[in-house]
């Protein structure tokens, strides 16, 4: 008896939500410095920490991420997308245990570097996995859940960070990777991976599970032809990203979105949330402001992933970029006026939290998931693993650079300088997004590849508006 196709989507949802548990640990790690860095910097801290040591502790996960990303680019094709994801679980678990018993900032930073490597691996293979198992109609929604999971992890650590010590919170957080492993181990592997390995029977069984139907012959045939064409009988190399025209287009689109994302100020806001609110001098408690900030981001992103497949990614990306530019510009102006006229801005002490909440909402509807969804859709199977590994390396490198830029310019000139720079970067990014980034709503992975190659003469007007040559 043939099951309804919609029933088959159940396993697509289950696999995605199970995999997203591993991304929760990433959010925990990235948001960890918000509640705990001020405590480490306190003169009475049991773990003596200088400002410089604290800043390196904050960016340690970003520095470790490229290592994991490059490793996952190899493992994703060698042992599979699913197994690579599962391999990260024990590393994450023991890292939390290590932080619980750490007695120096060097040990904590080293462990955060290792966890950062697992994050790089996960952000390489999971978008690849989800993009390959999902139907085109819900692919945007499913890939966006990774962003939700990361935000949920950040909110979680900011809440428990106000109630528990580093030791206690680390033990609590160590349960998350165990939940991930216990659920994800039962999920099917990507049929794309099986086809690449010429394991057609396994690919067919995986597809039947994911689609909830025995009638998958037509889709199997289409997938086999697509993989064969994309493989082109050669092993993917990093140089393929730049020597093949369609891959260059995909790289350029990703770079545009990634740079706009990182230089909108997201990482500094994430790492130094509590410090930003403390320096703003608002009457609202800084710890409460952080929880409001993270909660709003979670709700906004939940709404965004529901509507992304209704409105498309491109329009939301444009609105998001405009809004982020205005929000950080307003915040920068507040800090500038606060330095010049401290008494005058007291009547506007609501502006910092308003600006940051607005920034979070607007970032969440587009820039937050833009790079992840683009990565899962634009690169062909033949280079997807190496593309995602290279892209993640670039992404976290830019994130680390933006974070250090924030710290240096803030300490040297004042809080308003980095935020004004972020506003300008968003404005510049908007121009490139409008001109170059296409809409992929409702397109199959094969149709997207045909567009990038230039084979589809009947492209929609949305595609033609953003078509470009590289």
- Assign 314 to helix, strand or coil: helix
Alpha helices for 32-185 (secondary structure H):
33-41, 51-78, 81-100, 105-133, 136-160, 166-173, 175-184
Mean pLDDT of the chain: 83
If you average pLDDT over residues 356-381, what whole number do you get?
A: 79
Gap between the Cα atoms of 420 and 431, Å rounded: 18
Q: What is the pLDDT of residue 460?
A: 42
Q: Which of 62-76, 109-123, 295-309 has the highest mean pLDDT?
A: 109-123
Residues 6 or more apart in contact with residue 267 via CB below 8 angstroms: 62, 399, 400, 402, 403, 406
Gap between the Cα atoms of 386 and 76, Å rounded: 9
Q: What percent of the chain has pLDDT over 70?
A: 89
Q: Which residue has the higher pLDDT, 350 or 439?
A: 350
Q: Which residue has the higher pLDDT, 365 or 32?
A: 32
Residue 396 has pLDDT above 90, yes or no: no
Q: What is the pLDDT of residue 467?
A: 41
If you average pLDDT over residues 43-68, what whole number do you get?
A: 87
If you average pLDDT over residues 237-261, what whole number do you get?
A: 83
Identify which of 415, 273, 418, 283 has the alpha carbon closest to the alpha carbon of residue 351: 283
Identify which of 382, 366, 377, 305 has the alpha carbon closest to the alpha carbon of residue 13: 305
Q: Are 128 and 146 in contact (CB under 8 A)?
A: no
Beta-carbon count within 10 A of 136 CB = 17
Gap between the Cα atoms of 41 and 36, Å rounded: 9
* Domain definitions of the chain by residue range: 5-187+232-465
Residue 462 has pLDDT above 50, yes or no: no
Angle at which helices 175-184 and 81-100 cross, to 10°: 160
Q: Are 369 and 305 in contact (CB under 8 A)?
A: yes
Indicate whether this model's pTM tops 0.85: no
pLDDT tens per residue across span 211-230 = 877 777 777 888 887 787 76
| Confidence tier at 276 by pLDDT (50, 70, 90) | confident
If you average pLDDT over residues 252-276, what whole number do you get?
A: 86
Beta-carbon count within 10 A of 267 CB = 25
Q: What tokens does 94 get? A: 């023991």
If you average pLDDT over residues 258-279, what whole number do you get?
A: 85
| Confidence tier at 386 by pLDDT (50, 70, 90) | confident
CATH topology of domain 5-187+232-465: Growth Hormone; Chain: A; (1.20.1250)
Gap between the Cα atoms of 25 and 178, Å rounded: 11
Identify which of 36, 55, 26, 14 has the alpha carbon closest to the alpha carbon of residue 142: 14
Q: What is the pLDDT of residue 221?
A: 82
Q: What tokens does 382 get? A: 């033949």
**CB-neighbour burial class of residue 148 (10 A; exposed 0-12, middle 13-18, buried 19+):** buried
Gap between the Cα atoms of 217 and 40, Å rounded: 59
Q: What is the pLDDT of residue 77?
A: 84
Gap between the Cα atoms of 8 and 63, Å rounded: 39
Residue 265 has pLDDT above 70, yes or no: yes
Q: What tokens does 189 get? A: 């592997």
What number of CA atoms fall less than 13 Å from residue 330's CA on the CB side? 18
pLDDT tens per residue across span 297-306 = 888 878 876 7
If you average pLDDT over residues 198-206, what whole number do you get?
A: 85
What is 400-449 written as a DSSP string? HHHHHHHHHHHHHH-THHHHHHHHHHHHHHHHHHHHHPPP-TT--HHHHH
| Confidence tier at 309 by pLDDT (50, 70, 90) | low
């Amino acid at each position: 008896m043939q099951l309804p196709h919609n029933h088959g989507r159940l396993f697509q949802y289950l696999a995605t939500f199970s995999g997203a548990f591993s991304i929760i640990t990433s959010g925990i790690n990235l948001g960890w410095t918000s509640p705990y860095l001020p405590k480490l910097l306190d003169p009475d801290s049991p773990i003596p920490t200088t400002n410089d040591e604290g800043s390196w502790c904050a960016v340690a996960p970003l520095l470790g991420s490229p290592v994991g990303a490059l490793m996952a680019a190899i493992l994703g094709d060698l042992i599979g997308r699913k197994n690579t994801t599962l391999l990260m679980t024990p590393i994450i678990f023991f890292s939390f245990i290590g932080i619980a018993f750490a007695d120096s900032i060097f040990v904590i930073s080293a462990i955060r570097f290792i966890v950062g490597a697992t994050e790089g691996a996960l952000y390489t293979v999971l978008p690849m996995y989800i993009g390959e198992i999902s139907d085109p109609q819900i692919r945007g929604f499913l890939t966006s859940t990774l962003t939700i999971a990361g935000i949920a992890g950040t909110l979680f650590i900011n809440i428990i960070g106000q109630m528990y010590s580093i030791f206690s919170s680390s033990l609590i957080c160590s349960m998350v990777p165990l939940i991930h492993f216990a659920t994800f181990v039962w999920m099917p592997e990507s049929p794309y991976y099986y086809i690449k390995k010429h394991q057609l029977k396994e690919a067919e069984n995986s597809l039947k599970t994911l689609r909830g139907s025995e009638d998958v012959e037509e889709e199997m045939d289409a997938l086999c032809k697509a993989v064969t064409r994309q493989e082109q009988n050669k092993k993917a190399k990093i140089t393929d990203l730049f020597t093949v025209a369609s891959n260059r287009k995909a790289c350029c689109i990703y770079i545009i979105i990634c740079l706009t994302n990182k230089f909108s100020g997201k990482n500094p806001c994430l790492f130094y949330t509590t410090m930003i609110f403390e320096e703003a001098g608002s009457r609202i408690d800084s710890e409460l402001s952080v929880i409001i900030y993270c909660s709003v981001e979670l709700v906004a992103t939940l709404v965004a992933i529901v509507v992304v497949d209704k409105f498309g990614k491109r329009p939301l990306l444009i609105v998001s970029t405009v809004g982020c530019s205005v929000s950080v510009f307003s915040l920068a102006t507040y800090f500038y006026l606060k330095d010049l006229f401290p008494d005058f801005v007291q009547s506007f002490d609501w502006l910092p939290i308003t600006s940051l909440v607005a920034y979070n909402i607007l970032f969440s509807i587009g820039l937050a998931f833009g790079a992840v969804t683009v990565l899962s859709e634009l690169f062909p199977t033949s280079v997807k693993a190496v593309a995602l590994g290279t892209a993640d390396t670039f992404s976290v490198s830019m994130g680390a650079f933006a974070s250090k830029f924030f710290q240096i310019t803030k300490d040297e000139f004042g809080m308003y300088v980095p935020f004004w720079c972020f506003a300008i970067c968003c404005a510049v990014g908007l121009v490139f997004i409008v001109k170059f980034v296409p809409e992929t709503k409702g397109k199959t992975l094969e149709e997207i590849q045909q567009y990038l190659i230039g084979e589809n003469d009947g492209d929609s007007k949305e595609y033609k508006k953003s078509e470009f040559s590289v």
